[in-house]
Chains A and B, each alone.
Chain A
């Protein structure tokens, strides 16, 4: 049975008290995460973990080779949902904030390496600006077999209109939409100014000398396990391009 894990942080009082960040608390974090959790369990997936607030640790997504423990958490499940405050560095690395330093207050995506020998196919991050469309290749290292990173290239709102986003993404996944559509459609209500993006890697046939074969891409072909086709993993040696799909208004 396919599995998923959830990490969601609503309160950042420890980070603020430590002077690490001025980030405010969120309100609808668990509306989204609980909704996602409910839908996926209803769709027959097994929840491996659901950690909240200070139980979310940056080591959970950091690669085991770099002192992290992704082998037990983010890289042990097929789908990992995380919600916190985010941003990116000028070289395109994603970064996200935690409310406890385990062992750092933030995670940086150059320390992620997902899908290598382990399970992770998809990561979904409801966080602002973890993708820089101008430096999209700055995320390449995270794809060590993982298929799609679902994030945002600008704002993602904490709002009464986005409280059902998690449930919408989950419902789309378990009713047969592709992972890319599930994310972009699920977090968009076509009113609130969310900026979703899905990023994946492709092989030489998909790159096709720059004439992209979109039909071959994970964006077009990957569904949740048990709810449609899932393409095989693409090891780094076979990765020829990085592909991304986004909504703008």
Chain B
């Protein structure tokens, strides 16, 4: 695909950006505050499960706090971000659905469990949370004669997206609620950010075409020197998305700034799937680790 075609596809249906967007400072959460939030989530989980989960054994392990809950459940609090998870302790293949349900029914099911958990109450003022996507975990089997069984539905997972100032906060699901058969709660995970109500700045945005050029440069860099140039690679390109970035559970983040995100797939002999991130502002407000990590020092491979 030529560079021009690549850029054209990235920009097709790209969100129409305003000329400016707000930059928000994020309120840092102390470990105590994050743990209090986790206790609220454990209490909400206990209400949904109609069981007592108040006898927790809390331990700090490195950059997380763990709570071992009754019935094999646990909660995890990530110190860097305040993200948290509560698992109820259901066995992996227990509480299967009686049959594979329609997506509509499953979405209603996960939404009803999420409502009982009160996930919206965990979103701070000025933010919002909207349903984004339904996932399903299924299982099947085959015998030696390649006789395959019908798939069974193990879990339905609802994913919600937090938005601030009209833009989504991109990254992992802001809230994920995993539900087993009969509507039993399997787990809930939250990585909600707490932006200050007042923006710290309004910054000028670059257009999608400028961002698309940077994405092409990043792809070209990864494809490196080859007998086939980047422009000859047949890539599937999804339109650019514009949103704030959440850097993950294990990273401390102080600022929310808008970025463009591109998804590029290449299906050759090797299948490749990349996401690229480009600041949507003329100047950069938050450090992105686009260099990636390096491995530990090499060990002796073996005697030749």
Q: Across the interface, do B144 and A42 meet the contact criterion of CB distance under 8 Å? A: no
Beyond A23-B270, A155-B271, whether A248 also contacts B136 by CB under 8 A is yes
**Interface digits, A207-234 against B, CB 8 Å rule (1 contact, 0 not)?**
1001010110101100000000000000
**What chain B residues lie within 8 Å of A31 (beta carbons)?**
292-293
Inter-chain CA distance A189–B189, complex, in Å, is 10
Q: Across the interface, do B144 and A240 meet the contact criterion of CB distance under 8 Å? A: yes
**Interface digits, A166-182 against B, CB 8 Å rule (1 contact, 0 not)?**
01000100011110110
Q: How far is the CB of A43 from chain B (nearest CB, A)?
A: 10
**Interface digits, A182-200 against B, CB 8 Å rule (1 contact, 0 not)?**
0011001111110000000
Identify which of A24, A161, A249 contacts B171 (C-beta below 8 A).
A161
Q: Across the interface, do B273 and A21 meet the contact criterion of CB distance under 8 Å? A: no
Inter-chain CA distance A52–B301, complex, in Å, is 10
Q: Which residue of A lies closest to B141 (CB)?
A: A243
A110 touches B (CB below 8 Å): no
User: Could you count the A-B residue pairs with CB atoms below 8 Å apart for me: how many are there?
Assistant: 229
A26 touches B (CB below 8 Å): yes
Inter-chain CA distance A245–B269, complex, in Å, is 26
Q: Across the interface, do B290 and A27 meet the contact criterion of CB distance under 8 Å? A: yes
Could you tell me how many residues of chain B have their Cβ less than 8 Å away from some Cβ of chain A?
81
B213 touches A (CB below 8 Å): no
B12 touches A (CB below 8 Å): no
B92 touches A (CB below 8 Å): yes
Inter-chain CA distance A121–B87, complex, in Å, is 25
Identify which of A8, A17, A136 contacts B225 (C-beta below 8 A).
A17
Identify which of B64, B72, B137, B173 contacts A246 (C-beta below 8 A).
B137
Q: Across the interface, do B275 and A157 meet the contact criterion of CB distance under 8 Å? A: yes
Inter-chain CA distance A120–B87, complex, in Å, is 29
Q: Chain A interface: which of B45-53, B115-123, B202-210, B243-251?
A: B243-251
* Chain A 137-171 residues near chain B, CB threshold 8 A: 137, 155-161, 163-164, 167, 171
Q: Across the interface, do A72 and B302 meet the contact criterion of CB distance under 8 Å? A: yes
A45 touches B (CB below 8 Å): no
Q: Across the interface, do A21 and B268 meet the contact criterion of CB distance under 8 Å? A: yes
B288 touches A (CB below 8 Å): yes
Q: Which residue of A lies closest to B291 (CB)?
A: A27
**What chain B residues lie within 8 Å of A247 (beta carbons)?**
135-137, 157
A109 touches B (CB below 8 Å): no
* Chain B 204-231 residues near chain A, CB threshold 8 A: 219, 222-228
Beyond A24-B272, A178-B92, whether A190 also contacts B133 by CB under 8 A is yes
Q: Across the interface, do B275 and A192 meet the contact criterion of CB distance under 8 Å? A: yes
Q: Which residue of A lies closest to B64 (CB)?
A: A171
**What chain A residues lie within 8 Å of B62 (beta carbons)?**
42
B280 touches A (CB below 8 Å): no
A70 touches B (CB below 8 Å): no
B132 touches A (CB below 8 Å): yes
A-B residue pairs in contact (CB < 8 Å), sample of 13: A13-B225, A24-B274, A55-B301, A155-B271, A158-B275, A163-B292, A164-B250, A167-B250, A178-B92, A191-B173, A193-B263, A210-B141, A243-B141
